[in-house]
A = this chain, B = another copy of it.
Amino acid sequence: MHPSASSPPHTDPTAAVESVLTAELARRRAEVVAIDHRLDGDVDRLIGYISAGGKRLRPQFLCWGFLAAHPEAERFTAGDRLPPGVLQAAAALELIQACALIHDDIIDRSDTRRGKPSIHRSVQKLHADHGWSGDAEHYGLSSALLLGDLALAWADDLFLDGFEQLGGPAGALSAWRAMRTEVLAGQLLDLRITADRSGDPEVAADDAMVVNRYKTAAYTVERPLHLGAALGGASPATVTALREYGAVIGVGFQLRDDLLGVFGDPAATGKPAGGDLIEGKRTVLLAMARAALRDRPELLAELDAGIGSDLLPAQVDRLTDLVAATTAPAEIETRISSLFDAGTRALAGRDEQGVPVVHPIAADNLLRLARAATVRDR
């Protein structure tokens, strides 16, 4: 029987992931520089990008997935280090995420990432500053493409090291493989539905949900938890509960992001105001706003014409107001709440012996993460 644990953990079990990641990157740096010392700048740029951070959400989910079925989960929140294999697998998720973000920034033509220049832009600047020959912008894109590829290859290596350290537990490798295909397929589909827009808002909302499911929910929450649980040898009941939680909370994350992408404060999000409107992202929020404007064809036409075009700040404000005046934001808030509730229920199950299928320490922390990422204020 698991003890109850409603107080927060003393130690974040993912803190050690950072040192494993740092050590791995140092080893990789030496490997690359041994090939040619002039590659030091490239690899340092990649390392700087990975080290600078983000919320390390995926490693956190992996670690809590591992602890969800661990009979002594308390030990690890009281200060014990997670097994090295778990830390390696968690760190691997940050490497794959580096590839995803670097390549995404190329695709989205983003100038910045986490408030700093995106990799392709910073390499472009290097090229321009040195007055090298050729097209600086294309040089930046090409270098970023290859650095993303390196991160993807290294992610695989590190995950496999962790997996083998743990004795190759059943189900973990297939979850890793599924995750990689899912995130790339989700991105391909996102490209496609953004380009090949359906006029029908209902279809557009369904499309956006499929993208959310694979590009965000599976990749960010469900599969990291699944990986952690499989690496910990969790029972099918635990895996199912975690995946259910992950699938719904992951969609909740994305819906919160949809709202922030239109209404978020640039100071808090690090992205321009109304960024999704400018980029022309096909979100569930925008599909619902379009549906709500069905009986106001002149406003719908204005919204459709504006999304994804070169918008002046006043036009962004106008479109933002247009979306805000629909029922869509409130509907999205309601959906987020019910997804949060469904996630909470998924974690609350017990087996025939009355034992929680997810250890209360893990459940508490997963709900804390869900709350942090889905609540209105952040």
Which A residues are within 8 Å of any B CB, using their own CB?
28, 31-32, 35-36, 38-39, 42, 99, 103, 106-107, 109, 127, 130, 132-134, 138-139, 141-143, 145-150, 152-154, 156-157, 160, 173, 177, 180-182, 184-189, 191-192, 194-197, 210, 214, 280, 308
Contacts and interface: CB of A to CB of B under 8 A. Distances in A.
A150 B35 contact: no
B36 A103 contact: no
B308 A196 contact: no
Contacts of A160: 160, 173
B152 A152 contact: yes
A39 B189 contact: yes
Contacts of A39: 185, 188-189, 192
Contact of A142 (B107, B142, B146, B182): B107
B32 A142 contact: no
A146 B103 contact: yes
B132 A36 contact: no
A180 to B, nearest CB: 4
Contacts of A99: 149
Contacts of A153: 152, 156, 177, 180-181, 184
Contact of A149 (B31, B177, B184): B184
B132 A196 contact: yes
Contacts of A185: 32, 35-36, 39, 150
29 contacts: A28-B181, A32-B181, A35-B186, A36-B185, A38-B192, A39-B189, A39-B192, A42-B188, A103-B149, A106-B142, A107-B142, A107-B145, A127-B195, A130-B196, A132-B196, A133-B194, A133-B195, A133-B308, A134-B194, A139-B195, A146-B184, A146-B191, A147-B188, A152-B152, A152-B153, A153-B156, A153-B181, A160-B160, A160-B173
